[in-house]
Amino acid sequence: MDFEFGAADEAFRREARAWLQARLNGEFAGAAGRGGPGSEHERGDVRRAWERELGRGGWIGIGWDTGRGSDRDTGRDTGREADREADRGADRAAYGVRRATLTQQVVWAEEYARVRAPGRCGHIGENLLAPTLLAHGSKEQQDEFLPAIARGETLWCQGYSEPGAGSDLAGLRTTAVRDADGTYRITGQKIWTSLAHEADWCFVLARTEPGSRRHHGLSFLLLPMDQPGRIEVRPIRQLTGTSEFNEVFFDGARARDAHVVGGEGNGWRVAMGLLGFERGVSTLAQQIGFTEELGRVVREALRGGTAADPVLRDRLVRQWAELRVMRWNALRTLGDGGGVAGAPSVAKLLWGGWHQRLGDLAMAVRGTAAAVGPADWSARSPYELDALQRLFLFSRADTIYGGSDEIQRNIIAERVLGLPREAKGPVRGTP
């Protein structure tokens, strides 16, 4: 396995650990462990203040590749590697972020998860939009948006899925019409939009070429969410009783022509590039959270005596072993520079199914007591669910969101194994 932590990484670990321990007190102490999957509604004001604290410490954006996206897209040579690295360092200094190697990014993610620091509310901007702007955006777009993300001041949401175009993203119908003044009018509906009710900005994939089909004629646009009468956000209540994601309706919402990333008509290429950033270093931090949840299930089994059941014991051991395999797989693909074919799809299949089985197991070790919930299930009181009940209910979606298991298997079959492509039916709304 070509992935090892060296002396510099351990020094970085000590720095990260000391910084976190020094800051997670006072107003932030009560937010520890809050805001994770299924509890995004908790302590939102404190967690937004925490984002700004991370920004002041230079901890947002440590994984950004700050090479010039426009230079890479055109293939223009910017000089020797030493000169390019100097430019990157200057950009990092301008954005106020620390420099960190891949292994140091892993260290930061692990330390953050271990101390149960507050759930991030700025991760969409930091981990999805920022790398996309650095790879496909103009220098002007980078300078306009990256500093505010790095300071923890601007929150973003992602406008991709639609009621008729979820996993089949190319079937989207949202349109963006360019006016004579150069602005775009965006009309349509997005769904399952995480954190749209809190976001300041949204990046939207929309159809800018009338009559185009599938992945042709799409553009990637950035638009502010504060447009009363033009953007409506409707929360979607989940099984847990919370509303982390939303429906978003655009009725002539405005976006500037300077905020089209990658150029008009190149939205599919930009959108697919963004999806490549969704799974990376954060996978290892996610697994630390999984370890904590597994430990909670094991303690419940010991407390209630169900650990004496050999079948449940076998399931607990299997969950532990599979979690170790997931970690080794994540380290293997990171050590290869993330270039392993189909690795993101394999990782999604592994963790989605594992976490859902853990939710099942959490209920099994509780026995009949697992079915006892709030006195009034109709009340909007998600706090009455305990952690294991919330784990079970929230994990029902793990094999759907972020790309369903069926889609991931198709990707592996067609793009990795070279099997024949699945036959497609007619596009919805066409003969």
Cβ neighbors of 401 (< 8 A, separation 6 or more) are: 192
SS (H, E, C) 28-71: HHHHCCCCCCCCCCCCHHHHHHHHHHHHHCCCCCCCCCCCCHHH
Which single residue is written with the structure tokens 């370890």? 291
How far is the C-alpha of 121 from the C-alpha of 53, rounded, in Å? 13
DSSP 403: S
Cβ neighbors of 40 (< 8 A, separation 6 or more) are: 119, 121, 194, 195, 242, 244
Nearest to 123 by CA among 210, 50, 71: 50
Strand-pairing partners, residue 261, are: 220
How far is the C-alpha of 17 from the C-alpha of 117, rounded, in Å? 11
Strands 245-255 and 175-178: unpaired
Phi, psi of 242 (to 5 degrees): -100, 175
Which amino acid does the sequence have at 275? L
Q: In whole angstroms, what separates CA 283 from the centre of its chain?
A: 10
Residues 120/152, Cβ–Cβ less than 8 Å: no
How far is the C-alpha of 361 from the C-alpha of 355, rounded, in Å? 10
Q: With left for phi above 0 and alpha for psi between -120 and 50, is residue 94 left, alpha or beta? A: alpha
Active-site residue identified among 53, 247, 264, 278: 278
How far is the C-alpha of 205 from the C-alpha of 298, rounded, in Å? 43
How far is the C-alpha of 386 from the C-alpha of 260, rounded, in Å? 44
Strand-pairing partners, residue 218, are: 207
Q: Is 278 a catalytic residue?
A: yes
Catalytic positions, please? 278
